[in-house]
């Protein structure tokens, strides 16, 4: 799929670009850029061209998306994500979410996109899960496995680099909470944003932080915005780049570092004065293993964990809370921090 450039008239996010091969080789320049990005923006470009032939894999994933979302609605609803998994510890990891089920669009409205979640445990054969799926998913299983392997290696480089730089204890680094060989609630999420006229929704989807550890976003069309200046409410556009993946930290990395690393608010929106076009993207969402206690790891650089006012929870419990907020019909006082990673934010 061709990459669409941003117009000159919009503010563009100035994100660090980190080379995966540099992280692999221990290049100090890349190590420093990675830490800076994780401490300030919570977003960066990862150049993975030296690790994997990216374009054929991405093109195959877009073909999968089109075929899957073009299925009749009745067929897709056989895999409804809200009823497709009985095990609550694996909730929302497998299946289809129809248009308009979540909060999104104009304030108080619903979202403007379809999604299909594919559990990495099923793709990688890490766990005996109930991996019900349409036949088209099996058609592209080799591509899904290639994507899973490429992301796992890229994530390993990021985690180990951060653990070394932050002087985490041996055996208690970020990589030890996200072992590629162990089952965990990672998923591949396919997204189709439906075309919407400006007058219908105003085209802003809900600002949010991601609940997990790392998100690897593959997109060729503009739409992603990040909040780079919280005080001035300054939303900037992220320009898709060939050969690069947009990586962002989720709330999990912020919690595991007691706020030393940051997750960033982001959303999807149309370009100013334009309707939302039909837009496809896909993401790999990486989470800590379910039993991981979500508190700061052992580093002298991390601020102390507050003794009062915060509840200890596991990674699995956090995921259930956040999905509960997204599926709810009403937001209750005090829930903004669960939905957005911030308090006092009206969405």
DSSP result, 154-169: HHHHHHHHHHHHTTPP
Residue 346 has pLDDT above 50, yes or no: no
Residue 9 lies in a domain: no
* pTM tops 0.85: yes
Query: Does the pLDDT at position 326 exceed 60?
Result: no
Mean pLDDT, residues 273-302:
90
Region 19-37: mean pLDDT is: 96
**Range 176-186 average pLDDT:** 92
Average model confidence (pLDDT) across the chain: 85
The share of the chain scoring above pLDDT 90, in percent, equals 58
Q: Would 2 be classed as within a structural domain?
A: no
Question: Residue 347's pLDDT is what?
Answer: 30
The torsion region of residue 125 among left (phi > 0), alpha (psi -120 to 50) and beta comes to left
171 belongs to a structural domain: yes
The reply to whether 3 falls in a domain is no
Look at residue 84 in the predicted model and tell me its pLDDT. 63
- What is the β-pairing status of strands 214-219 and 279-286? antiparallel
Q: What CATH number did the domain enclosing 125 receive? A: 2.60.120.330
Local confidence band at 330 (pLDDT 50, 70, 90 cut-offs): very low
Geometric angle at alpha carbon 127, from 123 and 130, rounded to 5°: 75
pLDDT at position 63 is 97
Domain count, the chain: 1
Each residue's pLDDT tens digit, 215-257 = 999 999 998 999 987 666 789 999 999 999 999 999 999 999 9
* 214 belongs to a structural domain: yes
What average pLDDT does range 153-160 have in this prediction?
Answer: 97
259 inside domain: yes
**pLDDT band, very low/low/confident/very high, at 271 (cuts 50, 70, 90):** confident
The b/e string for 5-40 (b: 16+ C-beta within 10 A; e otherwise) is eeeeeeeebebbebbbebbbeeeeebbebbbebbee
- Tell me: the pLDDT tens digits for 117-156? 999 999 999 876 778 999 999 999 999 999 999 999 999 9
Determine, yes or no, domain membership for 172: yes
> Which of the listed ranges 21-30, 75-84, 102-111, 270-279 does the model predict with the highest average pLDDT?
21-30
Using DSSP, state whether 188 is helix, strand or coil.
strand
Domain that holds residue 264: 17-340
- Is 50 exceeded by the pLDDT of residue 345? no
| Residue 4 domain-assigned (yes or no) | no
């Amino acid at each position: 799929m061709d990459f669409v450039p941003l117009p000159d008239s919009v503010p563009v996010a100035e994100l660090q670009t980190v080379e995966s091969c540099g992280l692999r080789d221990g290049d100090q320049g890349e190590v420093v850029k990675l830490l800076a990005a994780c401490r300030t923006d919570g977003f960066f470009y990862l150049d993975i061209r030296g690790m994997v032939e990216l374009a054929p894999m991405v093109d195959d994933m877009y073909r999968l998306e089109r075929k899957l979302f073009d299925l009749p609605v009745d067929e897709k609803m056989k895999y409804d994500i809200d009823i497709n998994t009985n095990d609550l510890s694996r909730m929302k990891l497998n299946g289809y979410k129809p248009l308009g089920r979540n909060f999104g669009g104009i304030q108080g409205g619903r979202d403007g996109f379809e999604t299909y979640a594919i559990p990495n445990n099923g793709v990688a054969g890490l766990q005996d899960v109930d991996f019900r799926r349409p036949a088209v998913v099996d058609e592209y299983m080799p591509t899904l496995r290639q994507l899973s392997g490429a992301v796992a290696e890229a994530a390993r480089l990021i985690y180990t680099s951060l653990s070394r730089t932050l002087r985490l204890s041996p055996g208690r680094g970020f990589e030890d909470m996200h072992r590629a060989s162990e089952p965990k609630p990672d998923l591949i999420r396919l997204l189709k944003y439906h075309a919407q006229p400006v007058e219908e929704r105003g085209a802003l989807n809900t600002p949010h932080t991601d609940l997990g550890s790392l998100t690897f976003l593959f997109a060729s069309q503009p739409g992603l915005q990040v909040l780079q200046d919280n005080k001035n409410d300054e939303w900037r556009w992220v320009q898709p780049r060939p050969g690069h993946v947009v990586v962002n930290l989720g709330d999990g990395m912020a919690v595991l570092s007691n706020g030393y690393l940051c997750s960033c608010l982001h959303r999807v929106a149309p370009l100013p004065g334009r309707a939302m076009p039909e837009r496809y993207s896909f993401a790999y969402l990486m989470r800590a293993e379910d039993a991981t206690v979500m508190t700061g790891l052992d580093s002298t650089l991390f601020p102390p964990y507050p003794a009062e006012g915060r509840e200890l929870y596991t990674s699995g419990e956090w995921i259930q809370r956040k999905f509960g907020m997204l599926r709810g019909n009403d937001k209750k006082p005090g829930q903004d921090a669960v939905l957005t990673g911030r308090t006092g934010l009206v969405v």
